[in-house]
Amino acid sequence: MGTDGQLPLRIRAAALSDIGLRRTNNEDAFLLDAEHRLFAVSDGMGGHSGGEIASALAVDSLRQALAALRDQDYLCKATVANRQTILQWLAQTVDSISRTIQLRAVAEPQLHGMGCTLDAVLLRDGGLFLAHVGDSRVYLLRQGTLYQLTEDHSFGQMLLKAGVLTQEEVAQHPQRNVLTRALGPFPNVQVDTAYVEVTSGDVILLCSDGLYNEVSPSQLQHLLEGDPSQAPAALIAAAREAGARDNVTALVFKIDECTVRRVVIGSALVLAALEQSSFFAGFSASELLRVQQIAGGRELAAGELLVEAGQQVAAFFLVVSGQLSIWRNGQQVGIANPGDPAGELSLSPEPTAVSVRADTPALVLEFSHAAVGALLHSDSVLAAKLNAAALKRLAHRLRNVVDVLARHREAGLIPAFGNE
Ligand code: CA
């Protein structure tokens, strides 16, 4: 808290855009504002010069919008609520840029139907804020692993997620690159947002599909491991060597020095706990990341109480590391290991009936009910998945209760229901 003793955030950034070997114009655009820590890549589409105009308009509008960002609260105290303020600003800004592009297309009929993708990344202290629409991508290279932070909004990805086609079949599908979301075609657009804590050594890549369609993930990683200021040129050279059938844009920055020493949100440890959790089964990597934007990390000492029976708890918890025990009326009724929820899962404000205590030093993720509500409101895809998971969990618990009742009934411990 405060700025005392904080290390500076030092980054190196570079970007390049290339027309490629087959196209006659470059419809990609990027924004590299190292001073204000704002970065973006946009890939345009549309007849005449529509694609170029849409992508240029997108990154220009984003740059101009930055003056309206209110980030003082977050810089003062990096709470989940202050983080949400920045994420909501990003999402609203991207949504309003979609309207700006559409108005321009209405005003100039030859630009009718123009649109673009947009990936916008904002760095504040050790927090990386991301907004994403379309099929450009953002990658994070951390300690030898390349993470794709975004999920393509394309027809191919949709078929793959729905389990309709396999990866091989999607690769052959003629409509695989058709966008399911873009800025411009509609006045409003659903924006994916994410938040990741970054640390020294992290490398971030923003790129258009012209790069990742030509260059494999392992080659991307190899080229990102070199000097960040040379990386965009090296990435574009690799795409050209592979045929560069499309425009290619790469924006790279490396965190050389950072205020955050320990990363919780977006870390491999948290990802592993979420993957282990039955609650988040079937979530994609990008969805697991998006869920974390509303979570706070909480460290517990051995013996520390997380929840006390009788308290109103307006949050639910997920164990990331360590072990917790659950108590009711002085009796231990369960334990919670990494991936398990701890405490009440319901979103009702009833006082909790159980106490939860850390048996070992532990790290838990805290999801406040207010933040869950806001996320469900803003991300319909995640909302549907979380509702389905909650229903499945409820059905499972209900089945357990019915089983227990049936066993008690067989043993003659309780009378039968109905009019037997
Ligand atoms: Ca493209």
> Which residues are 163's β-sheet partners?
none
Residue 386 has pLDDT above 90, yes or no: no
Average pLDDT over the chain reads 91
For ligand 1, the distance from its centroid to the CA atom of residue 165, given in whole angstroms, is: 23
Calpha distance 147→142 (Å, rounded):
8
For ligand 1, the distance from its centroid to the CA atom of residue 28, given in whole angstroms, is: 7
For ligand 1, the distance from its centroid to the CA atom of residue 52, given in whole angstroms, is: 11
pLDDT at 123: 96
Calpha distance 198→256 (Å, rounded):
11
For ligand 1, the distance from its centroid to the CA atom of residue 244, given in whole angstroms, is: 10
pLDDT at 237: 98
What letter represents residue 339's amino acid?
G
For ligand 1, the distance from its centroid to the CA atom of residue 133, given in whole angstroms, is: 13
For ligand 1, the distance from its centroid to the CA atom of residue 99, given in whole angstroms, is: 21
Which pair of structure tokens corresponds to residue 365? 């993720």
One-character DSSP codes across 349-407: -PBPS-EEEESSSEEEEEEEHHHHHHHHHH-HHHHHHHHHHHHHHHHHHHHHHHHHHHH
DSSP, res 243: T
Residue 279 binned pLDDT confidence (cut-offs 50, 70, 90)? confident
Q: What is the pLDDT of residues 175-214, one digit of tens each?
A: 998 999 999 998 899 999 999 999 999 999 999 999 999 9
Q: 300, 362 in Cβ contact below 8 A?
A: yes
To the nearest 10°, report the CA torsion of 191, 82, 86, 126: -110
Helix and strand totals (H; E) in the chain: 12, 19
Other beta carbons less than 10 A from residue 342's beta carbon: 27
pLDDT at 221: 98
For ligand 1, the distance from its centroid to the CA atom of residue 375, given in whole angstroms, is: 30
For ligand 1, the distance from its centroid to the CA atom of residue 44, given in whole angstroms, is: 7
Q: 231, 252 in Cβ contact below 8 A?
A: yes
For ligand 1, the distance from its centroid to the CA atom of residue 104, given in whole angstroms, is: 21
Q: Which of 215, 218, 208 is nearest to 235 (CA)?
A: 215
pLDDT at 414: 78
Higher-pLDDT residue of 166, 347: 166
Bridge-based pairing state of the strands 38-45 and 28-33: antiparallel
For ligand 1, the distance from its centroid to the CA atom of residue 90, given in whole angstroms, is: 23
For ligand 1, the distance from its centroid to the CA atom of residue 248, given in whole angstroms, is: 7
> Which residues are 295's β-sheet partners?
367
Higher-pLDDT residue of 373, 319: 319
Other beta carbons less than 10 A from residue 301's beta carbon: 10
pLDDT at 378: 84
Helix residue ranges per DSSP H, 110-264: 155-161, 167-172, 209-212, 217-224, 231-241
Q: What is the pLDDT of residues 95-109, one digit of tens each?
A: 999 999 999 999 999
Residue 5 binned pLDDT confidence (cut-offs 50, 70, 90)? very low
Question: Which class for 22: exposed (0-12), middle (13-18), buried (19 or more C-beta within 10 A)?
Answer: exposed
Higher-pLDDT residue of 217, 400: 217
For ligand 1, the distance from its centroid to the CA atom of residue 210, given in whole angstroms, is: 5
Calpha distance 61→97 (Å, rounded):
7
Q: Which of 118, 119, 125, 155 is nearest to 140 (CA)?
A: 119
Calpha distance 186→179 (Å, rounded):
13
> Which residues are 347's β-sheet partners?
none
Residue 112 has pLDDT above 60, yes or no: yes
Residue 345 binned pLDDT confidence (cut-offs 50, 70, 90)? low
pLDDT at 3: 40
For ligand 1, the distance from its centroid to the CA atom of residue 185, given in whole angstroms, is: 17
